[in-house]
Amino acid sequence: MIESYIRRRLEDKSILLMTHIVIGYPNLDASYKIVEKMVNAGVDIMELQIPFSEPIADGPVILKANQKSLLNGTTVKKCFEFADAITEKFSIPFLFMSYYNILFKYGIERFAKKMVAVGIKGAIVPDLPPEEGNEYVEAMRKHKLDPVFIFTPTTPDKRMSYLESFGRGFIYCIARRGVTGAETSFTEQLKDYLLRCRNATKLPLALGFGVKSGSDIQFLKGKVDIAVVGSETIRLVDEKGVDATEDFILSLRQ
């Protein structure tokens, strides 16, 4: 279970680091190298995004990566094969992140069984609310996988409690309204929001959307359990190449 893993890691660290890649971007070989460099640099958990043509929660950086991966010919089958290879090599937990259409077309039960077969521990499906996701939630629990649900700054307290009742592993807190990759203000307002999140669940909290630097992570210590870095690593690969990712992750840890 991801939650127990997180609790154990927090005995030695004040905050964990989760990163995000789009499988097949810039290509499958490069994706593998990025994972390797991130794990070597001390990443604790990683999201593997199955590319989708309309990633509605993602900003321009991750949208471009999705489009490029699809143009490269990345398929769901190739994503499962990729996941199988990296979970065999690396011991940290990996989750899938994608959109409901991918799971629906593949078949929910079949998708969950395949996740287990390739060593994936959970999933984040941002466009699937629990009201419409009973089959997904049941399949995940049946196969001892963690469905991770999302809080936002506009989520009412009552809704947070409702979402929490379906979630497992951790809760993903979105730092602000909008899509990935834009600026986030790490201020008292964010602190107040995270306190609301903490009061709504006993699960560990992860925060993403706008985490870009070591100072952001320092701000989040004591407020959340996991800092999530996504668009910034993809932007770095665009600008400086795959090899730059390891030094960047190390810099976040300092």
Taking alpha carbons only, the member of 154, 124, 128 closest to residue 2 is 124
Strand 171-174 to 146-151 pairing = parallel
**Is 11 considered catalytic here?**
no
Active-site position among 29, 36, 58, 216: 58
Taking the chain, what is the end-to-end CA distance rounded to the nearest angstrom? 28
Exactly one of 11, 29, 36, 47 is catalytic; name it.
Answer: 47
Strands, E assignment, the chain? 16-22, 45-49, 94-97, 122-124, 146-151, 171-174, 205-208, 226-229
Q: Are 148 and 174 spatial neighbours (Cβ–Cβ below 8 Å)?
A: no
How many angstroms separate the CA atoms of 22 and 69, rounded? 8
Residue 47 appears among annotated catalytic residues: yes
Q: What positions carry a catalytic annotation? A: 47, 58
